[in-house]
Amino acid sequence: MSTTEKFFEHIEKGYTTKGDFITMGAGMFNGEAVTNAFVKVPLKTLNRHGLIAGATGTGKTKTLQVIAENLSDKGIPVLLMDLKGDLSGIAQPSPGHPKIDERHEKIGLPFEAKGFPVEILSLSEQNGVRLRATVSEFGPVLLSRILDLTVTQEGIVAVVFKYCDDNKLPLLDLKDFKKVLQYATGEGKKEFQEAYGRISTSSTGTILRKIIELEQQGADLFFGEKSFEVDDLVRIDENGRGYINIIRLTDIQDRPKLFSTFMLSLLAEIYATFPEQGDSDRPELVLFIDEAHLIFKEASKALLDQIESIVKLIRSKGIGLYFVTQNPTDVPDDVLAQLGLKVQHALRAFTAKDRKAIKLTAENYPDSEFYDTKEVLTSLGIGEALISALDEKGRPTPLAATLLRAPMSRMDVLTNAELKEVLGKSKLIKKYNEDIDRESAYEILNEKIEKAEKEAEKEEERERKRKASSRSRSSSRRSTRMNPVVKVLTSATFIRGVLGVLKKVIR
C-alpha cells in the first residue's frame, strides 16, 4: 500500500460518522488534495464550540461562510458577526468560477451555487433589525462587570436595582439608570439612606462616568425597547433551512466595549431562555464571533470569568460558539481549552514573535505521522487549513491538512438594491424597528421630584403667609399700644377714676 493510500485510509477511518455531518473538504498529503478523502464534522459535536484562526487573507471568512451555509442546509439557524461587511452576499448564489470547479473536482464534491435565507440585524443606526435590551434584563451583576466596577460600586448598583424593584420603577435605558443614581445622592438621599444605608457620592460619580463612557461608544442605542427576543434567532424558512442572521458591525469596530456588552448580554439571554438539550444529535443554534479578540481585548478579570463560565455552560443548551480571529493566542487559554473544532489557516513567520506563536499553535494540535505541523502552518495556501475536530464519541479526530470546499453563495457584499430587497422581506423589522419610550424610572422620578418641589413651594408659601400674618398681628398690637387715646383709656389711673365715679353714682 502506498503512503497516499495509507493517508486516505487514515482520513476515512478517522472521519467516519454514523450520524449527520457537514463536509469541510478533502484531506491533503504532500501539498495536494486526496480526492474523496473527505474531512467531515458530525453535527452532534458542533455544540462543543470551535476556533477559526489564521493570518489576514488566508480564507477565514470563507471558511465561516462554508460552515454557516451547510448548517443552514441542515435546518440549523446561524448567527454571524459581520465586522468587515463582507458576509451579506450569503443571500445570493455564487456566480461560479472555473477555479471553483477545479477545486471541487480535486475534492470530489459537485459544486452547487445557491443563496440562503438571511436576516440582517443591526446594533446601530445602520439598516437592519434593531437589536436592543433593557437595563433590567442585563441585571446588576452583568452590568457591573461590563462597567468594570469595584465591589463597593457593585453593591451600589445592586441597591439601585433593588430600589427600582421595590418601587416599581422600570429600568429600560441608560438615562433611567443615571437618573436613579443621581436621585440616590440628591433629592432622594434621605429615602435611600433610611431604607438601604448611606450611598457614597464619590462612588456614584465614578459609576456615572463609566456609563457616560459606554454611551460614547453608542450603547444608548442598544439599551431600550423593544427588547430582542432570542427565539427569533432560531427560525426556519419554508424550505426547512435555518435562517442565517447577520449582525452588521462595520461601524463599531473601534468600540470594543459596546461589542462585548452586546455579546455578553446575548449569550446570557440565550442561556437563560433556551431549554436544556442534553446530549442531542444536532445544535439548536450556532454563533460565529468574527474578530473575537475584540471581546477579550482589555477585558477585566471578572469579565473574562463571565465569558469562560458562559462558554462552559451554554453547550448544554445546544448552542455552539465559534471564535474567528488571527491567532489562537488572541483567545484566553481557559476558553481555548473548551473548543472542540479547530480550523487553522496559515500563519506568517516574519518575526521572532511570529515564530514563537507558530510553535505554540503547533503544540495545540495532535501529532501526525503525515505532517510536520509547524512547517505545514506556514506553507498552507488560501482556502487550505489544518483541521482537528471531535468524533461522535467526543474523541479528537486525526489532524488533517484540508483543501476546503468553496462557498455556495456569493463571496461578496450585497448591492444596495439587493440589501433593500432583503430588508423589505423581513418580518422582524416590523416587529423591532419602532422606537418605544414608555414611562420608566426617568419619567417617574422626574414627576416625583417635580411634585416634591411643588409641595415644597406650597409649604414655603404657607410659611410665608403665616409669618406675614404673624407680623401683621404683632404690628397691630404694637400700633394699638402706641395710640395715646387708647393708652389713656386703658391706663390704671383712668380705670380707677371711672370706677370711683361709678361707685358715687350708685350710692
Q: Is 224 left (phi over 0), alpha (psi -120 to 50) or beta?
A: left
pTM for this model (two decimals)? 0.82
**pLDDT beyond 70 at 252:** no
What is the rounded distance in angstroms from the CA atom of residue 154 to the CA atom of residue 292?
A: 27
Q: pLDDT value at position 143?
A: 87
Bridge partners of 80, per DSSP, are: 246, 288
Distance CA 452, CA 395 (A): 68
Band of residue 199 on the pLDDT scale cut at 50, 70, 90: confident
What the block records as the C-alpha cell of 505 is 353714682
pLDDT band at 474 (very low <50, low <70, confident <90, very high): low
Buried b (16+ CB within 10 A) or exposed e, 60-86: bbbbbbbbbbbbbbbebbbbbbbbeeb
Residue 500: its pLDDT value, please? 56
Element containing residue 343 per DSSP (H, E): strand 341-344
Query: Rounded to whole angstroms, how far apart are CA atoms 54 and 384?
Result: 10
Whether the predicted pLDDT of 475 surpasses 70 = no
Q: What was the pLDDT predicted at 231? A: 93
Residue 99, CA atoms < 13 Å, CB-side half-sphere: 6
Task: Reply yes or no on whether the pLDDT at 336 is more than 90.
Answer: no
How does pLDDT run across 127-179, given as a tens digit for each residue?
889 888 888 888 898 888 788 889 999 999 999 999 898 888 888 889 999 99
pLDDT reported for residue 357: 80
Q: Which neighbouring-strand residues pair with 81?
A: 247
Long-range contacts of 200-204 (CB under 8 A, 24+ apart): 200/152, 200/156, 203/152, 203/153, 203/156, 204/156
For the cut 90, the answer to whether the pLDDT of residue 447 exceeds it is no
Reported as a single tens digit per residue, the pLDDT across 362-381 is 887 878 888 888 888 989 99
Q: Given phi > 0 = left and psi -120 to 50 = alpha, else beta, which region is 82?
A: beta
Domain limits of the chain? 3-132+225-432
CA gyration radius, the chain: 36
* CA distance linking residue 49 with residue 286, whole number of Å: 9
pLDDT at 477: 60
Task: Give the strand pairing for 129-130 and 118-122.
Answer: parallel
In one-letter notation, the amino acid at residue 32 is: E
Mean pLDDT for all residues in the chain: 85
DSSP conformation letters of 147-175: HT--HHHHHHHHHHHHHHHHTT----SHH
User: What percentage of the chain reaches a pLDDT higher than 70?
Assistant: 89
Cα–Cα distance for residue pair 37/454, rounded to 1 Å: 81
- HSE-up of 457 (CA within 13 Å, CB side)? 6
Q: Is 174 exposed, middle or buried (0-12, 13-18, 19+ CB in 10 A)?
A: buried
**3-state SS class at 386:** strand
- Regarding beta strands 319-325 and 118-122, do their DSSP bridges make them parallel or antiparallel, or are they unpaired? unpaired
pLDDT recorded at residue 290: 83
Query: pLDDT for 6-64, tens place per residue?
Result: 889 988 888 888 889 999 999 999 889 999 999 999 999 999 999 999 988 899 999 99
pLDDT at 77: 97
Residue 506 confidence (pLDDT) above 60: no
Of 402, 337, 346, nearest to 374 by C-alpha is 346
pLDDT tops 70 at residue 298 = no
Q: Could you tell me the pLDDT band of residue 253, with boundaries at 50, 70 and 90?
A: low
DSSP E strand stretches across 14-85:
21-29, 32-42, 50-53, 78-82
**The residue to which cell 440565550 is assigned:** 270
Per CATH, which fold does 3-132+225-432 belong to? Rossmann fold (3.40.50)
